[in-house]
């Protein structure tokens, strides 16, 4: 046996507790009390947000309890939902409900909801580990037949997808009784005399090992480790493989519509893949780029309608809050419209993701990534060190953003701002692809500076598109007979608010761009990304000019 936290001693496989009962019986009487069975199900988001916060959320349900020698049972329908630290040493919130809600916003107003919402946001709670417990309780009695210690023999099973039960093991928990410290110490000594030194792990950790789960393992971030002297074609395929992994990790959740972030991460991986194909030039065969660019563009387009409606449904509460209280109920038909069209778009997209066309694309793309990578004279950058290719592409994209940003003024049409936003996104993707080639802190700082500027462009574009879509939705609702005059008026008020927000965002553009383009930031980007050849040429030019003078 091995001591675990909270006076819990784990029995080794095949170890019979009867020998232990005999040792205790030498000093005390033992009386079997009750046997309980219950389930505990651990929940987290797909990306392990609670675990990464140091938390775990577990729902417990005691199913049956019966006294020794009796044949009565009690059934409970209520789940006790507990938010606690991963080590179980600190409890943050607790609530009893008939079922575990899917989203944090579905919980009744409570401390638990308040704790969960800022961490989970739009992510669904998914059951990742299901444990089934059979607990036999024994009373340890002294000469006066008083209970001095309680023992619980726990047999724990992990429950699989098809309800199959796999035994994780048995453990003995020692529960003290107030006023009987000496008896507790004596019982612990008897138990410890039988103990074996083994690794101390909780049942949950043992279940993770049994089911080969790695909490916190998923991330939509690239988290690559490229080497500067690595051939560019090999480095590029490493990037593309990571992006394909992200797509495949999110594919099932996207089809099943478990939450909106599955589709979001799926689409980001698609956009990044397209960015590699279009921005990292001269590294991959032209035939490959020409073949796959339109196919990934198609995949992006067939997922767009569902994602657009996701965004409106996620933002609906914000829209609701923008309206006067007396007008807010008039927006309800819009919510129904969005939900109905989202269901239709989701069904259509899900069919696409099981189609032969999609499956063929993924299969052939995987085959290309796994094919041998060889430098070729007709592919000029394929065998060059990746750091050189990264510098050239990032520096070129950065200079393009600077030039385009300087041309923006108050009269610039939104379409030009949108093009600038796309250029910023391409630059950011390049920086993220090759981030591991540069000093971590400096690279992250440069990405943050770009993201701060990119965010204001995103706000401008988002408000503009939302206005256009709401106007389109209004026309569709009229055609479908679902838009009353009061609803259309409420949507008009909402459009007015969004136009104001767009204008406010435009007024902040100049300030944000000046920060992005200031000399210290230009110097920071040049130090990190400016190609060495260009730096040397500049030095030589200056020296020549000085000599001529």
Cβ atoms of 470 and 492 within 8 Å: the answer is: no
Written out in words, the top-level CATH class of the domain with range 385-532 is mainly alpha
Phi-psi region of 236 (alpha: psi -120 to 50; beta: other; left: phi over 0): alpha
pLDDT number for residue 195: 58
Give the model's pLDDT for residue 123: 98
Q: Which CATH number fits domain 2-211: 3.30.70.380, 2.40.320.10, 3.40.50.300, 3.30.1330.10?
A: 2.40.320.10
pLDDT of residue 32 exceeding 70, the answer is yes
Whole-number pLDDT of residue 534: 47
Confidence label for 63 from pLDDT (cuts 50, 70 and 90): low
Burial of 389 (0-12, 13-18, 19+ CB in 10 A): buried
Would the CATH topology of 2-211 be identical to that of 385-532? no
The continuous run of DSSP H or E covering 62 comes out as strand 55-67
Tokens (6 digits) for 195: 């103990």
Q: What is the pTM of this model?
A: 0.88
- Rounded Cα distance between 380 and 282, Å, is 6
The alpha-helical segments, DSSP class H, found in 212-259 are 232-256
DSSP 339-365: HHHHHHHHHHHHHHTTSHHHHHHHHHH
**Predicted local confidence at residue 200, as pLDDT:** 60
Evaluated on CA atoms 408, 413, 417, 420, the torsion sign reads negative
Residue 537: pLDDT over 50: no
Q: Domain extents for the chain?
A: 2-211, 233-372, 385-532
Q: What is the topology classification, in CATH, of domain 233-372?
A: CHAD domain (1.40.20)
Distances (CA, A) of 401 to 109, 224, 405, 453, 516: 46, 25, 6, 11, 10
Residue 190 above 80 pLDDT?
yes
* Token output for 254: 């996207």
DSSP state of 322: H
Per residue in 69-80, pLDDT tens? 444 444 456 899
Dist. CA 234–CA 15, nearest whole Å? 53
Higher pLDDT, 168 or 102: 102
- 540 pLDDT band, cuts 50/70/90, is very low
Please check the confidence at residue 407 and state whether its pLDDT lies above 50. Answer: yes
- Name residues whose C-beta falls within 8 Å of residue 463's C-beta, 6 or more positions apart in sequence: 498, 499, 501, 502, 505
Could you give the 3-state DSSP secondary structure of residue 223?
coil
Give the residue-averaged pLDDT of 465-471: 96
> Is the confidence at residue 536, as pLDDT, over 70?
no
SS (H, E, C) 489-532: HHHHHHHHHHHHHHHHHHHCHHHHHHHHHCHHHHHHHHHHHCCH
Q: How far apart are CA 468 and CA 473, in angstroms?
A: 9
Q: Which of 78, 41, 79 is nearest to 157 (CA)?
A: 41
First to last CA, the chain: 87
Q: Is the separation of the CB atoms in 59 and 80 below 8 Å?
A: yes
Top-confidence residue, 51 or 533: 51
Q: Give 97's contacts (C-beta < 8 A, 6+ positions apart).
A: 78, 79, 81, 107, 108
- Give which of 106, 110, 79 is closest to 93, Cα–Cα: 110
| Digit-coded pLDDT (tens) for 480-506 | 999 899 999 999 999 999 999 999 999
The predicted-structure confidence for 100-149, as pLDDT tens digits, reads as follows 999 999 999 999 999 999 999 999 999 999 999 999 999 999 999 999 99
Pairwise CA distance, residues 363 & 19, whole Å: 58
Q: What is the pLDDT of residue 530?
A: 94
Q: What does the pLDDT look like over 338-371, one tens digit per residue?
A: 999 999 999 999 999 999 999 999 999 999 999 9
- Nearest-CA neighbor of 203 among 162, 173, 164, 161? 173
Under 8 Å between Cβ of 3 and 12: no
Residue 150 has pLDDT above 80, yes or no: yes
Residues with Cβ within 8 Å of 248's Cβ and at least 6 positions away in sequence, in order, are: 362
**Residue 6 has what pLDDT?**
55
Residue 257 has pLDDT above 50, yes or no: yes
CA angle 161, 166, 170 (to 5 degrees): 140
Q: What is the model's pLDDT at position 76? A: 53
- Of the CA atoms within 13 Å of residue 205, those in its CB half-sphere come to 9
pLDDT of residue 535: 45
pLDDT level of residue 538 (50, 70, 90 thresholds): very low
In the DSSP assignment, the letter for residue 124 is P
DSSP secondary structure letters along 194-214? T--------HHHHHHHHHT--
Are 185 and 21 a contacting pair, CB within 8 Å?
Answer: no
Q: In DSSP terms, which residues pair with 91 in a beta bridge? A: 84
The average confidence (pLDDT) of the chain is: 90
């Amino acid at each position: 046996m091995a001591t675990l936290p909270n006076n819990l001693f784990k029995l080794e496989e095949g170890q019979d507790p009867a020998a232990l009962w005999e040792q205790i019986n030498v000093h005390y009487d033992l009386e079997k009390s009750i046997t309980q069975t219950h389930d505990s199900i651990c929940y987290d988001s797909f990306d392990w947000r609670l675990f990464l916060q140091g938390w775990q959320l577990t729902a417990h349900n005691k199913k049956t309890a019966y006294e020794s020698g009796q044949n009565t049972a009690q059934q409970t329908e209520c789940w006790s939902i507990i938010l606690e630290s991963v080590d179980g040493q600190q409890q943050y919130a607790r609530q009893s409900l008939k079922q575990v809600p899917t989203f944090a916003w579905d919980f009744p107003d409570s401390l638990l909801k308040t704790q969960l919402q800022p961490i989970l946001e739009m992510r669904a709670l998914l059951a990742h580990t299901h444990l089934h417990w059979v607990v036999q309780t024994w009373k340890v009695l002294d000469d006066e037949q008083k209970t001095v210690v309680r023992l619980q023999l726990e047999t724990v099973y992990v429950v699989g997808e098809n309800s199959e039960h796999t035994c994780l093991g048995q453990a003995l928990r020692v529960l003290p009784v107030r006023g009987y410290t000496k008896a507790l110490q004596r019982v612990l000594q008897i138990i410890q005399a039988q103990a074996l030194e083994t690794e101390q792990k909780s049942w949950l950790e043992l279940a993770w090992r049994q089911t080969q789960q790695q909490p916190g393992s998923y991330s939509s971030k690239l988290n690559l480790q490229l080497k500067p002297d690595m051939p560019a074609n090999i480095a590029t395929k490493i990037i593309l493989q990571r992006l394909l992994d992200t797509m495949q990790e999110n594919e099932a959740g996207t089809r099943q519509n478990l939450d909106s972030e599955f589709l979001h991460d799926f689409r980001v991986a698609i956009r990044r893949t397209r960015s590699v194909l279009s921005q990292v030039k001269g590294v991959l065969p032209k035939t490959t780029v020409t073949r796959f660019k339109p196919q990934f563009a198609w995949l992006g387009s067939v997922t767009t309608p569902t994602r657009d409606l996701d965004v409106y449904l996620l933002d609906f509460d914000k829209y609701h809050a923008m309206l006067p209280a007396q007008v807010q109920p008039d927006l309800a038909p819009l919510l129904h419209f969005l939900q109905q069209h989202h269901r239709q778009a989701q069904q259509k997209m899900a069919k696409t993701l099981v189609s032969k066309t999609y499956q063929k694309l993924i299969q052939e793309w995987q085959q290309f990534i796994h094919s041998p990578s060889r430098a070729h004279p007709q592919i000029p950058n394929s065998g060059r060190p990746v750091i050189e290719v990264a510098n050239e592409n990032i520096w070129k994209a950065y200079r393009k953003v600077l030039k385009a940003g300087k041309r923006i003024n108050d009269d610039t049409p939104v379409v030009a701002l949108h093009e600038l936003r796309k250029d910023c996104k391409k630059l950011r993707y390049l920086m993220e692809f090759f981030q591991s080639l540069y000093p971590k802190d400096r690279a992250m700082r440069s990405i943050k500076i770009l993201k701060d500027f990119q965010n204001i462009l995103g706000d401008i574009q988002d408000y503009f598109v939302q206005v256009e879509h709401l106007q389109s939705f209004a026309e569709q609702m009229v055609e479908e007979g679902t838009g009353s005059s009061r609803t259309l008026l409420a949507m008009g008020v909402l459009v007015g608010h969004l136009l104001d927000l767009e204008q406010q965002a435009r007024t902040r553009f100049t300030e944000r761009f000046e920060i992005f383009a200031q000399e210290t930031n230009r110097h920071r980007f040049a130090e990190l990304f400016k190609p060495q050849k260009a730096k040397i040429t500049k030095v030589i030019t200056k020296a020549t000019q000085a000599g001529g003078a």
